[in-house]
Amino acid sequence: MAEAPSPSDETPSDPATLAALTGLTGALLAEQRRARRWGIFFKLLLAAYVGALLLASLITAWDNLWAGHRPHAALVRIEGPIAANAQASAERVIQGLRRALENPQVKALVLEIDSPGGSPVQAEMIHRELKRLRAAHPETRLLAVINDLGASAAYYVAVAADAIYANRASLVGSIGVRLESFGFTEAMARLGIERRLYLAGEHKGALDMFAPVSPDVTEQIGRTLDEVHAQFIAAVKEGRGGRLTGGEAVFSGLWWSGEEALTLGLIDGIGDRRQVLDEVLGLERGLDYTVRRDWLDRIGRGVGAALSQAFGTAVGAVRF
């Protein structure tokens, strides 16, 4: 008895079925070819984009390299709050300043400032380094240019420069000191919350925001703020000298527009970075020597700051 053919061995003999299979196969092959062509197209487009970015980077790098071998001004930016964990930390600003002065073609240093202030310790470190660099490189002019904001600790830094420039609408000054916190003692009493804090040292928890502040602590806070304020005032007087015309009122913590600051002797002229380079320094170009934070550093320092806030004291630090 003959064995029946298996279904897989059967070949369709119906012309309509063959035509349908042939058409389907052709459509699948055409679709694969189109997908392959589009894949190649997008890969080439991505390669062209990356190549254009690389070429632009190489051109910029070459331009900067070439410009670095000609006389120029070194720009170091102070942007945002001045703090140990911030972009405008003393460590980064000082590193940028020193790196700039390693190049013999640097004929001037320009501090481009846009900062509301911050840590008096960080500001003092930058201020002291600027004075040291001025003494070590008397032939190199050091100018400060304030953009939107040059207040408090940022102005503390600026007064170490040979001259300060700002725009007419810039905010300048705020020569004062602050210490901030909160008080929740009445709210805790109303809610029936008991604070349990164990200390060694009579005033160790003096600034705890869940406890009342004693007159002794208030007096100590005042002495500390007055002392730091006096340091700030001394730095401004040393840096500005006889150029100050506003009397003691300029040390009240108020701020002024660039135009007002000029009349008070807080700045030396009205102008932006481009004007300072062209008209004051007579230099065609300024190269940026600012040391930037990389992404790993930002993450690490951000986590460290978050942990410090979570487990540290609730009271803020003394700030300019």
The answer on 147 and 29 residing in a single domain is no
What is the tens place of the pLDDT at every residue in 264-299?
999 999 999 999 999 999 988 889 999 986 654 545
The answer on 125 and 44 residing in a single domain is no
The answer on 130 and 54 residing in a single domain is no
- The stretches in the chain having pLDDT less than 50 are 7-8, 64, 66, 296, 298, 300-315
pLDDT of residue 162: 95
The answer on 179 and 54 residing in a single domain is no
In a domain, 255, yes or no: yes
The answer on 36 and 143 residing in a single domain is no
In a domain, 10, yes or no: no
This prediction's pTM: 0.72
In a domain, 78, yes or no: yes
The answer on 132 and 82 residing in a single domain is yes
What is the tens place of the pLDDT at every residue in 152-208?
999 999 999 999 999 999 999 999 998 887 788 888 788 888 888 888 888 887 877
The answer on 179 and 217 residing in a single domain is yes
In a domain, 320, yes or no: no
Neighbours of 227 (CB within 10 A): 10
Give how many domains the chain has, as a whole number: 2
In a domain, 6, yes or no: no
Q: What is the distance between the terminal CA atoms of the chain, rounded to a whole angstrom?
A: 106
pLDDT of residue 199: 83
The answer on 170 and 216 residing in a single domain is yes
The Cα–Cα gap between 188 and 190 comes to 5
In a domain, 213, yes or no: yes
CATH at residue 273: 3.90.226.10
Helix axes 120-136, 215-240, angle to 10 degrees: 20
Domain that holds residue 33: 18-67
pLDDT of residue 313: 40
In a domain, 131, yes or no: yes
The answer on 167 and 296 residing in a single domain is yes
The Cα–Cα gap between 190 and 31 comes to 74
The answer on 182 and 62 residing in a single domain is no
pLDDT of residue 51: 79
The answer on 204 and 306 residing in a single domain is yes
In a domain, 184, yes or no: yes
Q: Provide the CB-side half-sphere exposure for 267 (13 A, CA).
A: 31
The answer on 140 and 95 residing in a single domain is yes
